[in-house]
Structure 1
């Protein structure tokens, strides 16, 4: 109902202007709620199997499920708040809850991954706090202290009057801070470890949801910076770091032996592509970025669902030891194979449509970047396909049966939606994307 009201009736301010809903964040709220629900459905049998294997205890189960709900709440709070200070608090809270989720197995590797995540993202989010303070300093001179100087709607209304020097510094710190949460190179080191060592449902929501929320925070900051500076500095920064992330992640993909680490680097690659698209700006690039956020969330979470049950069957995350899933579980093998082809941009899945729009826009407006994008996408395709194909269709040595039936419905539900968005975007959804793309500007 909220989505229908916003798309048809326009933005709404709620609770003394502390919450702001518009076509950009209501789109992400809907996506976050859907993927959060399907991940919760997947979690039930997955965690029961983990408990059967001795990796989880009832106490850890309670911690996992309570932190999962709190994590979902912090993401929805970050998306809907109108206050840039509360946005920072919500992102910090999401960091703290994710630390507990990543470390829930209490192994040496998971504790190390959680510690690395906490330190790197903690330092990053501290940079974002300083950027928020600078934003308040610039706003206070124009809005005053009593009129909600950190409310985004107030800042947006006076963005052309904000001090360009202070806003430049503020965006630099905000970009480093929230860019760390996005997983942009070189602030990406936490992401592969967190994906590889935490429970697979956590990997699904990290890739499918949290990275989107961090991009959303960057977009809100970019709109203010563009208005204050009147030049493309913010967009150029996003393009540069986005392109660097795509290229570096693509080459790291070819060196991975752990299946979850490989798809973690795939997430870095795709978030770089999304950041690059929003950096280019304009109606088509912004539309493509929003579409890519949607299909990446759906497809990547589906892949992690399939990977989670595959690693449980094999008893390992080493790709060399996972072979011939088609003989053991045909649905699981096809889910992993189709998901991998979809995320690699094979038509007719939605990733192909969004990548095509991004590439053609880059060819038209920033032709220098096109060879780098094509090279990175080619390397990523070869790296992932050459590893997933034998996992699905090679000679098998797998004999392990699972004590609970895997939840494969979310896998094919997500893949079906990703396929639909490659073939047909409903008019209602098209209007939604178009309105959100216009708001981002650039």
Structure 2
């Protein structure tokens, strides 16, 4: 578990370092080095799990298994590539006068604070500490949302804080109920250890676990962006710095869904029923359809893709709710390709907004003529997230459709309707932004699009052929989550 400890210590040290020196020139490169080290530690941790299986620390404080280790690697990778993008982006924002040295220190410090919270969510074995880590991630991102200190950003930060605060309070009450149920079968010290809970799930009071899960789903569902608890997400994306939008959509939403799935596994073991899955399917499908409709009403490019995130998180929640091995495998794949694609899209969105000097969709035009790399990046990224073949999002959505046809065929038309609505909503806005008439005086900006290229190439690769090692990884996680044979 040495790799896990170093993974947690590095961003924690980064919080202090950047709070003191985050205003200095070339500080973005140091941020990249912090995240590169974290990625190396995550790969070391993945190798340990591959060789030794599930890892549990002394005292049952930390757990790394086939489910969370792939999310740890994904989190570290997206954290690194987003830091590569954010270095020139934040430098440009400072040159424009939108950021002072003090706020730049705050940005880099909270970036590392957010990464620490995400790693803690994924590595902790204690359901109470998981709740604390999710709250820490909320506090870090609230400060990032309000970074520009405009009236709109402050309003968005307060909405984010209040809605997610109410949501996280629901999750806390669910955790208290879980603790109460666990105290009937375990000692107080390890009552909330997930490994203890899952081993004794059949002895837990099923009625208490069902009530606990309702609060957990509502609480963590707020962080996922499930309808009707989603209102904070579009505002937070549109008013905060673009690198924050990339990690919010690419990482935070995944980790909140991870927390819900961990709790679902406990409820399934305690009740021997599918009640938790039905709740997830209901909330997930509703979120998927509502977000697909709202895509047609957006006037802000960041809000447009934030509703796309709600749509895809709804689809993942629905797939995990089905609970079959096929659906679980599809959900894990979709979680991966969505994180890679959406973080890449927000990189291009950030540069598109800098080129146009606005985030208003009707004023962003002619990107492919002003800066072809940004225009093509946005176009290909949109094709990818809309589910066009041969990219990985098409593969994962197709697998979710097949799983639905196998288990709940009467729901298949709703999924097809949502996919069609989302595709139309995206392209009615993207086409004029990329190919429209270029405004006079519009100039290219300094851009680092290597993260976009790397992410989209990976998503294309996963659409053409899933590597055997990754497939085996997903299969092991599928066995753990669904409790049945893999594909």
Q: Do both proteins adopt the same fold according to a TM-score greater than 0.5, normalized to the shorter chain?
A: yes
Is 1:261–2:300 an aligned residue pair? no
Q: Partner of 1:38 in structure 2?
A: 81
- Which of 103, 107, 110 is residue 67 of structure 1 equivalent to? 110
Deviations 1:352-411 (A, max 9, x none): 0000000111112111211111111101101101211111112111534356x2111101
- Which of 169, 187, 191 is residue 144 of structure 1 equivalent to? 187
| Kept after mapping to 2: 8 A contact 1:323/1:398 | no
Q: Partner of 2:159 in structure 1?
A: 116
- Counterparts of 1:255-334 in structure 2, within 5 Å, are 255-334=297-376
Deviations 1:280-300 (A, max 9, x none): 111110010000000000000
Unaligned runs of 5+ in 2: 1-43
Q: Partner of 2:27 in structure 1?
A: none
Find the aligned partners of 2:440 and 2:186 in 1 and give their Cα distance.
65
TM-score with structure 2 setting the length: 0.89
Find the aligned partners of 2:208 and 2:330 in 1 and give their Cα distance.
31
Q: Which has the higher contact order (CA 8 A, sep 6+)?
A: 1
Cα RMSD (Å)? 1.0
Q: Partner of 1:154 in structure 2?
A: 196
- Which of 440, 449, 454 is residue 413 of structure 1 equivalent to? 454
Q: State the 1:15 CA deviation.
A: 3.8
Deviations 1:152-209 (A, max 9, x none): 0000000000001111111111111101100000010100000000000000000000
SS state at 2:184 partner: helix
Q: Partner of 2:94 in structure 1?
A: 51
- Which of 365, 382, 393 is residue 351 of structure 1 equivalent to? 393
- Which of 388, 402, 405 is residue 363 of structure 1 equivalent to? 405
Find the aligned partners of 1:201 and 1:164 in 2 and give their Cα distance.
42
Find the aligned partners of 1:400 and 1:321 in 2 and give their Cα distance.
11
- Which of 402, 411, 422 is residue 380 of structure 1 equivalent to? 422
SS state at 1:254 partner: helix
Find the aligned partners of 1:426 and 1:139 in 2 and give their Cα distance.
40
Q: State the 1:276 CA deviation.
A: 0.4
Q: Partner of 1:396 in structure 2?
A: 438
Unaligned runs of 5+ in 1: none
